[in-house]
């Protein structure tokens, strides 16, 4: 496996369900990110982790809960989501936290539909 | 004013032509600029980065940066149908945050 892998690729869930998105990076990077991509909108940064420590949380509702057990793995736990949370959720990694010339490497994303 | 602004398109060019994609940004202290390409149903992929005023060429791609005008562009020479994608401009602002534009959809017609 190379790069950044995300599972599942597609997820359909009801508003009362609990599910988790998983991301794994094989690049030896220190920083990992969750982004949300909605149609016709810019990528929205949700969470940033640097060496397993959360360094940024962009006013994301508490129904999204990230977890970073080590520098290679990142999870996004979902519960009681709303239909407007339907979007493509992208995981990314970079050598260090993007504060200068860091380049992001994205996973293939999870297309989430909330019914 | 949006922090990073792009025309959403679609921009349609014939095969072999030059495609010109534009991006403006609001934070004058921004230092790093990136272009990502995103095919439909796929994730963004970095294709160019530029940090200094002027042009940077990589194969058929040229990034142009003008910090005085707060403007960055991407030129694609000899456009191919395989270049059809959405192109995302990303700017690392003075606060160290990477801000994305909404993307420009490019369609290259055979």
% helix / strand / coil in chain B, to the nearest 5? Answer: 5, 55, 45
Do A81 and A114 contact (CB within 8 A), yes or no? yes
The H-assigned helical ranges of B36-108 are none
What is the distance in angstroms between the CA of the first residue and the CA of the last residue of chain A?
Answer: 33
| CA torsion, ordered A109, A93, A33, B50, to nearest 10 deg | -100
B6-15, B23-32, B36-45, B56-65 — most confident range: B56-65
Instruction: Give the mean pLDDT of chain B.
Output: 94
B94 touches chain A (CB under 8 A): no
Instruction: Enumerate the residues of chain A whose CB falls inside 8 A of the CB of residue B45.
Output: 106
pLDDT along chain A (115 residues), means of 10: 88 92 96 92 91 82 94 95 95 84 92 94
Q: What is the pLDDT of residues B81-109, one digit of tens each?
A: 999 999 999 998 877 788 999 999 999 99
CA distance B101 to chain A (A): 5
User: Nearest 5°: phi and psi at A83?
Assistant: -55, -30
| Over residues B56-74, mean pLDDT | 97
Asked, as a colleague might, if the bond just before A15 is cis with ω within 30 of 0, I would say no
Contact B44 A90 (CB under 8 A): yes
In the prediction, which pLDDT does B104 show?
Answer: 95
User: Who has greater pLDDT, B62 or B41?
Assistant: B62
CA distance B43 to chain A (A): 5
* Residue B28 CA: distances (Å) to CA of A16, A30, B71, B88, B92: 45, 29, 10, 19, 11
d(CA A29, CA A13): 31
Residue B57 pLDDT > 90: yes
Report DSSP state, residue B19: E
Do B104 and B7 contact (CB within 8 A), yes or no? yes
Contact B98 A98 (CB under 8 A): yes
d(CA B65, CA B54): 5
Contact B49 A101 (CB under 8 A): yes
Tokens of residue B8, six digits: 């959403």
Do A80 and A16 contact (CB within 8 A), yes or no? yes
In the prediction, which pLDDT does A98 show?
Answer: 64
In the prediction, which pLDDT does A97 show?
Answer: 82
CA distance B89 to chain A (A): 10
Could you tell me which residues are beta bridge partners of residue B87? Answer: B37, B104
Do A32 and A91 contact (CB within 8 A), yes or no? yes
Beta-strand relationship, B104-109 and B11-14: parallel
Find how far residue B107's CA is from the centre of its chain: 14
User: Who has greater pLDDT, B7 or B22?
Assistant: B22
Residue B110 confidence class, pLDDT cut points 50, 70, 90: very high
In the prediction, which pLDDT does B93 show?
Answer: 81
Nearest chain B alpha carbon to A99: B96
């Amino acid at each position: 496996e190379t790069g950044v892998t995300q599972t599942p690729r597609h997820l359909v869930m009801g508003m009362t369900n609990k599910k988790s998105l998983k991301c794994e990076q094989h690049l030896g990077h220190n920083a990992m990110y969750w982004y949300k991509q909605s149609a016709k909108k810019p990528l929205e940064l949700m969470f940033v982790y640097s060496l397993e420590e959360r360094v940024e949380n962009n006013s994301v509702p508490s129904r999204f809960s990230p977890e970073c057990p080590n520098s290679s793995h990142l999870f996004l736990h979902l519960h009681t989501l709303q239909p407007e949370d339907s979007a493509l959720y992208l995981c990314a990694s970079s050598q260090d936290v993007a504060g200068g010339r860091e380049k992001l490497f994205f996973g293939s994303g999870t297309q989430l539909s909330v019914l | 004013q949006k922090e990073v602004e792009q025309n959403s398109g679609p921009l349609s060019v014939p095969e072999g032509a030059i495609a010109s994609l534009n991006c403006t940004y609001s934070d004058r202290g921004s230092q790093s600029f990136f272009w990502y390409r995103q095919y439909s149903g796929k994730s963004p992929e970095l294709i160019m980065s530029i940090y200094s005023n002027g042009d940077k060429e990589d194969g058929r791609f040229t990034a142009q940066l003008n910090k005085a005008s707060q403007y960055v562009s991407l030129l694609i020479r000899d456009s191919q149908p395989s270049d059809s994608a959405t192109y995302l401009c990303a700017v690392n602002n003075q606060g160290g945050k990477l801000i994305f534009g909404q993307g420009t959809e490019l369609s290259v017609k055979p």
